[in-house]
Structure 1
Amino acid sequence: MDRIAAQSQPYVLSLFRFVTGLLLFHYGVAKLFKFPPVEMFESVTPLSLWGVAGMIELVLGGLLMLGLFTRLAAFILAGEMAFAYFIEHLPHSFFPVINDGALAIVLCFACLYLAVTGGGPVSVDAMRR
């Protein structure tokens, strides 16, 4: 079991990178293009704080999906997710289960992990090397 897991680890890393990027990209699309329609993103304008966050998530989430400039994109996204947690979630409660900040925390540390490990073998970064 360990041998099989060790052989598949680089490819699972690439899949992890893609799914993390897809989640962030999805939030950027919802904030900026209102698709799918989400009540909490209804009044987001492009130059508002949420709109700028949507632009960051759209562009850098797309880069993560491609595996292009993975470490830099993931590092910036980790900072954005930390910022989102402290600005939007923490003021409501200290506990993530109450303040709905669990996803922001998980995405922050997922991006931090990707900033350290890189995008894996199935990425544009790997092809450029």
Structure 2
Amino acid sequence: MSARLNSAQPYAVALFRIVVGLLFACHGAASLFGVLGGAAGSKGGTIDAGTWPGWYAAVIQLVCGSLVLLGLGTRAAAFLASGSMAYAYFNVHQSMGLFPMENGGEASAMFCWAFLLLVFTGSGALGLDRLFAGRRTADEQEPAAQKAPVAA
């Protein structure tokens, strides 16, 4: 049983990555473009461009969420996303109470830890990271094979 679960781990990580990335990107799209209900607290509107910190957070959400969703630059994008959610939690929510249930910071805390996990696990299966890593390995091996002398 354990061996079966271990063999499925890269696919479980990939599914986790895809769902977390999609949800994060949706937050950014809602804030920037007014889709999917719009920015929080704006009744379907958007955040004004350049507004600190909301607009920058929304850009990070959209870009990093999309990269994580695709599994492209997963570790770096997840690191930036995790940091932005830690910032959101400690600078926006923490002042309203100690625990996330008190201060409305559940989403920030969960996204922060989910992205931190992805920093350490990587993209799992089905990510563009793996596709490019495999292609890079094949490209590195090909020139060496061409230079090798042919035995006669």
Range of TM-score over shorter length: over 0.9
Structure richer in helix, relative to its length: 1
> Per-residue deviation at 1:20?
0.8
CA separation in 1, counterparts of 2:96 and 2:64? 28
Structure 2 residue matching 1:40: 3-state secondary structure: coil
Higher relative contact order (CA 8 A, sep 6+): 1
Select which of 113, 116, 123 maps to 2:120.
116
Gaps of 5+ in 2: 134-152
> Per-residue deviation at 1:43?
5.6
Structure 1 residue matching 2:93: 3-state secondary structure: helix
How does the TM-score come out when normalised to structure 2?
Answer: 0.80
Deviation >4 Å, runs of 4+: none
After superposition, the Cα gap between the structure-2 partners of 1:92 and 1:43, relative to the gap in structure 1 and judged at 3 Å, is farther
> Per-residue deviation at 1:77?
0.4
Give the percent of matched residue pairs that are identical in Structure 1 and Structure 2. Answer: 37
Q: Retained in 1: the 8 A contact 2:25–2:65?
A: yes
Max Rg structure: 2
Is residue 87 of structure 2 the alignment partner of residue 93 of structure 1? no
Gaps of 5+ in 1: none
How does the TM-score come out when normalised to structure 1?
Answer: 0.94
**Matched residue count:** 129
1:55-76 C-alpha deviation (Å, 9 max, x unpaired)? 1110111000100000000000
What's the counterpart of residue 45 of structure 1? 48
- Please provide the CA RMSD for this pair: 1.3
